[in-house]
Amino acid sequence: MEITPTGLVDACGGADNVRRALRHQDKVIIELIELERVNQDVLPISTIDHSLRQITLDQPVSQGALTALGRVIDHNLREQAAPFYSPSQKTDFHRPGWHISPPQGLLNDPNGFIYFQGHYHLFYQWYPFACEHKDKFWVHLISPDGVQWHTAPLGLTPSDWYDSHGVFSGHAMVMNDALWLYYTGNTRIGPERLRQTTQCVARSSDGIHFEKLGPVIDAPPAGVTEHIRDPKVIHDGQHYRMLLGAQREDKIGRLAQYSSADGLTWHYDGLSGDSLGEHGYMWECPDLFQLSDQWLCILCPQGSPSPTPDHQVPHHNGYAKATLEADGITLDNWQVLDHGFDFYAPQTAQTPDNKRMLIAWMGLPDEVEQPSLSAGWLHQLTCPRELRWENGQIYQRPAAALQSLRGPQQLLVINPECHSTTVDLGTKQFELNTTLPIPTSGHYTLYFHSRSGMMTPASSGKPSGCALTIDGDSRTLTLDRSASLAKEGDTRRCIHLPEPLEDLPLQVLADTSSLEFFIAGGQWTMTSRYFSAIDATFFALTRDRHDTPLPKEMNWYALKNASVR
Ligand code: FRU
């Protein structure tokens, strides 16, 4: 006889004893807190894994009973995560003042970024219980302007048999006045941690409470490994299209494409991306949108060839022009989106006035040894950026709403006679605007988050801080973060400055442990976390020769805290 939902939970030893549900080859697996509490007279068990505390049931379980089990686990997980979800966490001196960072635990990709019923909704990947990449939740934030956010009830928890090792990344869609979340369900089976991937849907009519509808794609297509994830769904005027980051069986990254008439039943249309050649072993986090009538596809290839010897980490970001065809898309003209260190898995949303706003993860997949670990949190998101399509490329500028954080405008005067200038800004939260002259020869360096601009022996006579050097001989702009307190990741990034550019407008957004550089009106951006001492509130500037031209003046604003941080 089929077991009832309550009968199943009771036989497992009660709601508080159920930890995780899984399904593998039609067998239901349940992970328990205490194996001894299971009632084997009611629940026939075929195998018990004592180290994982998992039982494999010897009888089929109805969809209703599995769903009910998911709701019980969801309740448990929300209770367990609640102490780590309070927005009023202790601050520490690396905690951003106005960027989004996790209250506790690890943050990674932004998810489900969308404007719905008068507000921006933004979710992010979160593991509450430690600064580790484990079973991910979706945190949910809501904002009127993309800057001041408030924390909504937790969006999604890894509660169900199809997502119990992580509600992985995905996007949101508005369909029939409801908010739909498409995401990847990640599960791992057995001690071998065999990966099982599904693409799932959750729906909400009020934008607060989500009902999981389960998998709409329950296995990878032929020729693709279980590394297929991060659904992006659009409506192209005729039907829905889903793009997924994917890995071919020969370990080549590609995009998988599906189409659907109703957003629920999906047809596999094949892989795209051959036109970009061999471009890494896996593509993650695609986004697809239009800017000034040009379709663009952002994605994050892993393991693609390094553009320079400075770039040692395997994680890349970029975009290609996309042409939408009846049964797929063609990509061409690959370009890097952000030239800094910490920029991954960006997502965009359409604003009510038809602009495109982007937010990315300010971090990278393998980098976890950061100084904020001791305070129990890790990583942050970038500021919201407005995108434009200009001169055949994406330009990124800070969203206009960020100006609401500005204090009074202040002038930073550079003495043209001096070899070096040092100014205590008294804060690590600021916006700085200037124009950098590109010298015909020689170089000068701007130091941010510097410690009294002091020349330390360790830095061989240079001021401390994150260094931005503009060099006229090589016509390069170099960002060097080797003085960061974080000892992981690349430390140098370089942009070539094409002729006939003579001046370089620069806007810098600084927050306690990060710097975002918007160069030449957003033609290039360089994004970097930068961990420094509590008193590293100085700005410094040095030049190699007394006749190297310097920026004449800089204006800057201290930036206030935002509501979620
Ligand atoms: C990118 C990523 C995604 C995945 C998520 C899991 O950072 O690996 O591909 O869905 O993180 O947290």
Interval 444-491: pLDDT, tens:
999 999 997 656 555 556 789 999 999 999 999 999 999 999 989 999
- Tell me the CA–centroid distance for residue 231 and ligand 1, in Å: 11
Show Cβ contacts of residue 460 under 8 Å, excluding neighbours closer than 6 positions: none
Assign 240 a pLDDT band (cuts: 50, 70, 90).
Answer: very high
Top mutation candidate among 169, 316, 317 for ligand 1, by most atoms within 8 Å of CB: 169
CB within 6 Å of ligand 1 — which residues? 108-109, 125, 136, 166, 168-169, 184, 229-230, 284-285, 344-345, 365
Whose tokens are 């003495």? That residue is 415
Print the SS3 string covering 138-183. Answer: EEEEEECCCCCCEECCCCECCCCCCCCCCEEEEEEEEECCEEEEEE
For residue 109, give the ligand 1 atom closest to its CA. 7
Mean pLDDT of 161-188: 98
Q: What confidence score (pLDDT) does residue 176 get? A: 93
d(CA 22, CA 263): 25
d(CA 186, CA 195): 7
User: What is the CATH number that goes with domain 102-219?
Assistant: 2.115.10.20
Q: What confidence score (pLDDT) does residue 328 get? A: 87
Show Cβ contacts of residue 347 under 8 Å, excluding neighbours closer than 6 positions: 109, 110, 111, 112, 113, 171, 285, 287, 358, 359, 360
Residue count of the chain:
565
pLDDT reading at 89 higher than 60: no
- Tell me the CA–centroid distance for residue 72 and ligand 1, in Å: 26
CATH 2.115.10.20 maps onto the chain at: 102-219, 226-337
Q: What confidence score (pLDDT) does residue 307 get? A: 77
Nearest residue by C-alpha to atom 6 in ligand 1: 168
Q: Which helix (H) or strand (E) holds 112?
A: strand 105-116
Q: What confidence score (pLDDT) does residue 87 get? A: 63
Q: Which helix (H) or strand (E) holds 201?
A: strand 194-204
- Tell me the CA–centroid distance for residue 169 and ligand 1, in Å: 6
For residue 344, give the ligand 1 atom closest to its CA. 7
Decide: 511 and 532 in contact? Cβ < 8 Å. no
Top mutation candidate among 157, 200, 229 for ligand 1, by most atoms within 8 Å of CB: 229
Phi, psi angle pair for 295, to nearest 5°: -75, 135
- Tell me the CA–centroid distance for residue 110 and ligand 1, in Å: 10
Mean pLDDT of 301-314: 89
What amino acid occupies position 306?
A: S
CATH 2.60.120.560 maps onto the chain at: 401-558
Q: Which helix (H) or strand (E) holds 198?
A: strand 194-204
Domain 5-76 has CATH 3.30.1360.60: yes
Whose tokens are 């009771």? That residue is 10
Assign 88 a pLDDT band (cuts: 50, 70, 90).
Answer: low
Mean pLDDT of 267-284: 96
Q: What confidence score (pLDDT) does residue 209 get? A: 97
d(CA 130, CA 140): 19
Q: Exposed, middle or buried by CB within 10 Å (0-12, 13-18, 19+), for 528?
A: buried
For residue 300, give the ligand 1 atom closest to its CA. 1
pLDDT in tens, 23-71: 999 999 999 999 999 999 999 999 999 999 999 999 999 999 999 999 9
Q: What confidence score (pLDDT) does residue 329 get? A: 94
Other beta carbons less than 10 A from residue 547's beta carbon: 9
Q: Write out the catalytic residue numbers.
A: 109
Phi, psi angle pair for 83, to nearest 5°: -65, -20
Q: What confidence score (pLDDT) does residue 239 get? A: 95
Q: What confidence score (pLDDT) does residue 458 get? A: 53
d(CA 146, CA 472): 38
d(CA 452, CA 539): 8
Q: Which two tokens stand for residue 552?
A: 């004449």
Q: What confidence score (pLDDT) does residue 487 get? A: 85
Q: What confidence score (pLDDT) does residue 513 get? A: 97
CATH code matching the domain that covers 226-337, chosen among 2.115.10.20, 3.10.580.10, 1.10.260.40, 3.20.20.10: 2.115.10.20
Mean pLDDT of 129-137: 97
For residue 245, give the ligand 1 atom closest to its CA. 9
- Tell me the CA–centroid distance for residue 106 and ligand 1, in Å: 12
For residue 136, give the ligand 1 atom closest to its CA. 12
Q: Which of 168-182, 304-318, 331-345 has the lowest mean pLDDT?
A: 304-318
Q: What confidence score (pLDDT) does residue 460 get? A: 59
Q: What confidence score (pLDDT) does residue 282 get? A: 98
pLDDT in tens, 380-395: 999 999 999 999 999 9
The CATH superfamily label for domain 401-558 reads: Exo-inulinase; domain 1 (2.60.120.560)
Q: Exposed, middle or buried by CB within 10 Å (0-12, 13-18, 19+), for 336?
A: middle
Top mutation candidate among 186, 284, 347 for ligand 1, by most atoms within 8 Å of CB: 284
pTM (whole model) above 0.95: yes
d(CA 8, CA 135): 24
Give the long-range contacts of residues 54-57, CB within 8 A, separation 24 or more.
Answer: 54/20, 54/22, 54/29, 54/30, 55/29, 55/30, 56/27, 56/28, 56/29, 57/27, 57/28, 57/29, 57/30
Mean pLDDT of 249-268: 97
- Tell me the CA–centroid distance for residue 367 and ligand 1, in Å: 13
Show Cβ contacts of residue 19 under 8 Å, excluding neighbours closer than 6 positions: 31, 32, 33, 53, 73, 76
For residue 361, give the ligand 1 atom closest to its CA. 7
Pick the more confident residue, 1 or 61. 61
pLDDT reading at 519 higher than 70: yes
pLDDT reading at 303 higher than 80: yes
How many secondary structure helices (H) and strands (E) does the chain include? 2, 38
Top mutation candidate among 111, 125, 380 for ligand 1, by most atoms within 8 Å of CB: 125
Cα-based angle 149, 150, 155 (whole degrees, multiple of 5)? 110
pLDDT in tens, 532-562: 999 999 999 999 888 898 998 899 999 999 9
- Tell me the CA–centroid distance for residue 168 and ligand 1, in Å: 6
Q: Which two tokens stand for residue 259?
A: 């189409």
Pairing relationship of beta strands 538-543 and 524-529 according to DSSP bridges:
unpaired
Nearest residue by C-alpha to atom 12 in ligand 1: 168
Mean pLDDT of 191-198: 97
CATH 3.30.1360.60 maps onto the chain at: 5-76
pLDDT reading at 277 higher than 70: yes
Q: What confidence score (pLDDT) does residue 306 get? A: 82
